[in-house]
Amino acid sequence: MTFVKPAYILLDTKINDPIAFEDYKAAAKPIVEKFGGKYLTRGGKMDVVQKDLWAPVRIVLIQFPSMRAAHDFLDSPDYATVKDIRLASSNTTLMVLEGL
């Protein structure tokens, strides 16, 4: 039996156009859910205890059932136009992480 590990999309986002970014958030959520994603945190309060390598601005963490599901979401035609809104309204660092 093969165990499929969960995966996480971690984003750090600096929002430049709050109105457009609200449109992005509303449109992205159902697409995330379509691919089995679940938001674990979405820009809430954070206490940065150490920042030797990076000073985060706004963290979003989304759990997916697998690396494949996370990449399928990111590469989906459904997300393509929504992604354009994010790219136009913010600066982002995004990574896909394999879980345990």
Determine the number of helices (DSSP H) and then strands (DSSP E) in the chain.
3, 4
- Evaluate whether residue 19 is within a structural domain: no
| Structural contact between residues 78 and 34, judged by C-beta atoms closer than 8 angstroms | yes
Confidence at residue 37, expressed as pLDDT on a 0 to 100 scale: 98
- Evaluate whether residue 37 is within a structural domain: yes
Cα 39 from Cα 88, distance rounded (Å): 22
Q: For the segment 28-69, what is each residue's pLDDT rounded down to a tens digit?
A: 999 999 999 999 999 999 999 999 999 999 999 999 999 999
**pLDDT(1) > 90:** no
Count of domains forming the chain: 1
Mean pLDDT rounded to a whole number for the chain: 97
- Evaluate whether residue 92 is within a structural domain: yes
- Evaluate whether residue 3 is within a structural domain: no
- DSSP letter (8 states) at residue 57: S
Q: For the segment 65-91, what is each residue's pLDDT rounded down to a tens digit?
A: 999 999 999 999 999 999 999 999 999
58 phi/psi in degrees, rounded to 5: -145, 110
Structural domain span for residue 31: 24-45+65-100
